[in-house]
Amino acid sequence: MTTEEALPFSVASVLEEVLQQNGTRSRVIDLASRKAEEAALRRYEAAMWLRKTVGVVGGKDLPAQPSEEEFRLALRSGIVLCNVLNKIHPGAVPKVVEGPSDSVIIPDGAALSAFQYFENVRNFLVAVEELGLPTFEASDFEQGGKSATARIINCVLALKSYSEWKQSGGHGSWKFGANGKPSSAGTGKPFMRKNSEPFMNSFSRTLSVGDLSEAGSSGNLNSLVRAFLSDRKQEEIPSVVESMLNKVMEEFERRLASQNEQMKAAPTDVAVSVPDNSLTRSSSGDVVMEDEFPTNGKMEVNTAECDDQYYYHGEESKTQLLKRQMLVELQQRNILELKQTLHITKEGVQLLQIKYQEEFNNFGKHLHSLASAASGYQRVLEENRKLYNQVQDLKGNIRVYCRVRPFLNGQPNLVTTVDSIEEGNIVITIPSKYGKESRRLFSFNKVFGPAATQAAVFQDTQALIRSVLDGFNVCIFAYGQTGSGKTFTMTGPNELTEESLGVNYRALSDLFVLANQRKDTMSYDISVQMLEIYNEQVRDLLVTDEIRNSSQNGINVPEANLVPVSSTSDVINLMNLGHKNRAVSSTAMNDRSSRSHSCLTVHVQGRNLTSGGILRGSMHLVDLAGSERVDKSEVTGDRLKEAQHINKSLAALGDVIASLAQKSTHVPYRNSKLTQLLQDSLGGQAKTLMFVHISPEPDALGETLSTLKFAERVATVELGAARVNKDGSDVKELKDQIASLKAALARKDGEPEHLQFARPSTPDRLKMKSGSSSPSPSNSSSQSVGDVSSNRRQPMEEVVNTQV
Ligand SMILES: Nc1ncnc2c1ncn2[C@@H]1O[C@H](COP(=O)(O)OP(=O)(O)OP(=O)(O)O)[C@@H](O)[C@H]1O
């Protein structure tokens, strides 16, 4: 194994590099100077050969190293060229015009006979062309310049090549055109020629140095050597060459040492940096780099020139190794960074998972608390409802309010029968025949004087509207003699304003407001019926054609129109229709006096959105016919009959209420159509409100007293029952208990906000807790009045003393 086989660098490569490093001058020679140098070399070669061929005398005009101009001037006569050609190829130019003497050369280089010279040149060119040699133009002598001179030189050198080929025996044929390398013959330094073709060698010299730079490393080395030595003096060359060789030796040894070190370290490095399959030997013996990054093709073995031996191009191999090491290091760094990023990402994901888990747990807890809050809300709602209605129970299921009408027609200072009004008490002045007045006290739940507003009168009623939505039945009556203000209380005056709206409008308005406030938990369907009882016959007032008589016995309520409503205005429209249809008859006492009972019934069906439970409640708003005595009404005939029916039905109503208050075993519902109609809303857990109206005028005293006595009977019984229920305790004690229950309910109001539900803004909102049994909503009036035969009174649990 030779050194070059074992080493990744060759002597030639070291030499080249040393030359490049030391011969900096040659590296900086520009292309133009190199070309000029090459051209000069070729010119000298041509001149020397011509001089040698034609002899000293023939070539006396041609210097050994002529300039371009000297070269052209010496040859422009064509004599030298023709003679040279004839020597090589005798007879090629049959006739050569010779110049007379040296004097033919004039200082400016002009020929004596241009024609003669042209003849020579032309003959020469024709002969050269016939030989297949490269030619030039005759005018090239006259034009001058580099390219013209180059063409002439090229022709001469081709002739030289041809001559050498002939001298060597002229074997084979020589051809024009081949790649080659410039000869250094002009400097006495021969080229190493691989091609034996004479013309090829000659022609190769036509290539420029610039071309050589691309011709491979050996061409590069040659030109480097030439360039390096070209500017040296002849006597300097041996010492320069010696010094250069020393440097080459030093460099070579240095690389050898470095290679050894590298070889020692190589196994580890290569193992780390070079993949196993990156350097393989092909079947032909070539070492091939299987590399994805550029290698510049340097790391290879040319088996054709090295007889199947390979060697590494040392420096470039080293560079490749370094590149690979750098690449691997870079990749290792990248991998490290990626690992770190992955680690950070993992931590981030873990953190997110923890947070997500926490959020999820919190959400679960929140959901759980919401669920228990929701069920708690339902419980509280239910409890609140019970408590609320217990309060209403304690206030009494039958409540009687007295209202005194003001004087009509602006009569300010008339004598009134009302002596005084205080809370629930009203004192009536009763004149005596003998001039001595007496007073009579009547007690009710509350007495409203002439100045009481519609809103104040409605206040206690308002509390019961909520009970209707909770599934209870409520019955509100307006009782009193004709013209005492019943319609005013229930509906309002003829000209309605917001302030003058009666109980009917206010009750319905509140009903819709409350139903809307509960819409998240309850869904309500509200519908309305409007009936009239006239002469003991029930009529449907919500018909647009004729007033429909009921069936045979005059009672057929289920057939009455039940009109769904969704707003107060819906109800007002229906009430207007009902009032229009209501039988109105003129009497001596009141031209607007109604001779029939009118009953507006509101049916409410509520569905609990959570539990699906259904509640049914109803509210009867009854404007009773006038309660005046027949004799005073001065009526006869039909009017008298009407009055008798009215009085009879009112008496029946009084009896029923009194029986309910006394908790009698028998309640006489069937004594009138009115009580039959209202049966479901009278008694049990139903609430009954009666507004008793009186007129203040002295001439109405008789009616006033009879009205108050009727009302007192009902009211007294209820209040008396309350006293008895409390083992003889008075109403004060009952009020105290209500107050404590209110306080208990107020504590309930302290629940979290979302557990509360809206309540109407009324003092009755403050609730209390009671030990009494929970109220159960009575069944709504789904039964025909005519079908009712049983007494639906609550079982009497306590002794009721009606004679209080
Ligand atoms: N509180 C009041 N304030 C002012 N005016 C009133 C009041 N109460 C009644 N009036 C007026 O008294 C008159 C009679 O009232 P209303 O018609 O309400 O009596 P009524 O009892 O309904 O009579 P009827 O039994 O004949 O229907 C009406 O003009 C009414 O406007």
CB 305 within 8 A of CB 311: no
The protein residue with its alpha carbon nearest to ligand 1, atom 8, reads 485
pLDDT per position as a tens digit, 337-356:
989 989 998 889 989 989 99
The protein residue with its alpha carbon nearest to ligand 1, atom 23, reads 483
The number of the ligand 1 atom at minimal distance from the alpha carbon of 625 is 25
Please calculate the CA angle 394-397-398 and round it to the nearest 5 degrees. Answer: 125
The number of the ligand 1 atom at minimal distance from the alpha carbon of 491 is 18
Burial 708-718 (b: 16+ CB within 10 A, else e): bebbbbbbbbb
Q: How many domains does the chain have?
A: 2
pLDDT of residue 453: 95
Residue 613 lies in a domain: yes
Q: Ligand 1: distance of its center to the CA of 472 in Å?
A: 30
Which of 26-35, 410-419, 564-573, 727-736 comes out lowest in average pLDDT? 727-736
**What is the pTM (predicted TM-score) of this model?**
0.49
Helix (H, G, I), strand (E, B) or coil at 368: helix
Q: Mean of the per-residue pLDDT values for the chain?
A: 71
Domain end position, chosen among 729, 752, 785: 729
Q: 32's torsion region: left (phi>0), alpha (psi -120 to 50) or beta?
A: alpha
Burial of 69 (0-12, 13-18, 19+ CB in 10 A): exposed
CB 443 within 8 A of CB 425: yes
CATH classification of the domain holding 421: 3.40.850.10
> Within 6 Å (CB) of ligand 1, which residues are found?
405-406, 408, 480, 482-488, 493, 590, 592-594, 626, 693
Mean pLDDT in residue range 424-432 = 87
- The C-alpha atoms of residue 24 and residue 36 are separated, in whole angstroms, by 19
> What is the domain range of residue 109?
30-248
Mean pLDDT in residue range 218-244 = 70
pLDDT score of 180 more than 70: no
Residue 38 lies in a domain: yes
- Residues 6+ away with beta carbon under 8 Å from 118: 78, 138
Give me the DSSP letters along 65-114: S--HHHHHHHHTTSHHHHHHHHHHSTTSSS-----SSGGGS-TT---S-H
Residue 520 lies in a domain: yes
pLDDT score of 245 more than 50: yes
CB 351 within 8 A of CB 735: no
- Enumerate the β-bridge partners of residue 692: 402, 479
More confident site: 224 or 370: 370
Q: 584's torsion region: left (phi>0), alpha (psi -120 to 50) or beta?
A: beta
Q: Ligand 1: distance of its center to the CA of 503 in Å?
A: 14
More confident site: 148 or 586: 148
Domain end position, chosen among 248, 273, 305: 248
The protein residue with its alpha carbon nearest to ligand 1, atom 1, reads 405
Amino acid at 740: S
More confident site: 139 or 182: 139
More confident site: 392 or 667: 667
- The C-alpha atoms of residue 128 and residue 334 are separated, in whole angstroms, by 71
Which strands, in side-by-side order, build the sheet including 438-443? Answer: 418-422, 425-430, 438-443
CATH classification of the domain holding 213: 1.10.418.10
Residue 264 lies in a domain: no
Q: If you count them, how many residues does the chain have? A: 804
pLDDT score of 358 more than 50: yes
Q: Ligand 1: distance of its center to the CA of 405 in Å?
A: 7
Q: Is 482 annotated as a binding residue?
A: yes
Residue 565 lies in a domain: yes
Residue 21 lies in a domain: no
Which of 571-580, 630-639, 756-765 comes out lowest in average pLDDT? 756-765
pLDDT per position as a tens digit, 117-139:
888 898 999 998 888 888 898 88
pLDDT score of 108 more than 80: no
Residue 791 lies in a domain: no
- Tally of CB atoms within 10 A around 506: 20
Residue 237 lies in a domain: yes
Mean pLDDT in residue range 624-647 = 75
Which of 362-376, 544-558, 662-676, 690-704 comes out lowest in average pLDDT? 544-558
pLDDT score of 187 more than 50: no
pLDDT of residue 428: 92
Q: Is 480 annotated as a binding residue?
A: yes
Domain end position, chosen among 693, 714, 729: 729
The protein residue with its alpha carbon nearest to ligand 1, atom 4, reads 406
For tokens 């205005």, the residue is 569
- Enumerate the β-bridge partners of residue 430: 438
Helix (H, G, I), strand (E, B) or coil at 736: helix
